[in-house]
Every structure is written in C-alpha cells, then in structure tokens.
Amino acid sequence: MSNWDDIKQQDREWQARAQRAQAGAAQAYERLLHLAEAGNSGQPRIVAHFVASTFDGQTFPFDLFDLRALDVPISDDMLVCLDALRWGRADLYTLVPRGRERVLAICEAWGLSWPQ
C-alpha cells in the first residue's frame, strides 16, 4: 500500500469518526437544550451556560470544572458535544430543529447576553 493509500484510508476513517460524533451530538444536544429550557436552577443553569458556550465560546466561556457538579448522564452528553465540536463538521445548534432560535431563547431566559 502506498503512502497516498494510507492517507486516503486515514481520511475515510476520520470522516466516519466525525460523522459518528456528530450523530451522537445531535441527540445529546437535544437533551441538553430541553434541560436548559425546562429548568430553573442548579444543573440546568450550568447546562444553559454550556449551551451558550457552544454557540459563542468567546462571549460565554465555560469552566470545564463545572462538569463535576452535574449528574453523570448530563456531563456525558456535554462530552459527546465537545467531541463533535472537536471534529468541527457543523455547529451543534444546526443539528437540532430550530437550534439557533432555541439557543438564543435559552440565553435570554438565563440572562446570558452579549456585551454592548
């Protein structure tokens, strides 16, 4: 097998891995959005901040140590989303119905606003 064949094979493997990450993230992100939309304190507040950070990480940085304050299934969903972000095939909010609208509504509901 030539070096070119190795490169093509690695590219196919990475594309497949990125697709799997993105598919899992769509489901995980939906669960996180729902939690942030339905909650009013505690864990949903952390989830809302995480959701905002996936939309605009410079404006809404997320402290990764907050993962420790969450139930394991919630933090697992966040890690799935981070893996999809790492592969960078699509913005997370584009993976769910009305994603952009929902993220912006979550930001507003939790008082997360962009600087003027």
Nearest-angstrom CA–CA distance, 68 and 80:
15
Give the amino acid at 45: R
pLDDT, mean of residues 99-107: 97
Q: Per residue in 33-86, pLDDT tens?
A: 999 999 877 899 999 999 999 999 999 999 999 999 999 999 999 999 999 998
The SS3 of residue 8 is helix
Is the pLDDT score of 94 beyond 60? yes
Q: Rounded CA gap, 22 and 83, in Å?
A: 8
Question: Distance of alpha carbon 64 from its chain centroid, rounded?
Answer: 13
The reported pTM is 0.87
Give the Cα separation of 24 and 1 in Å (integer): 33
Domain boundaries, the chain: 3-109
Model pLDDT for residues 6-26, shown as the tens digit of each residue: 788 888 888 888 888 888 899
Query: What residue type is assigned to position 40 of the chain?
Result: N
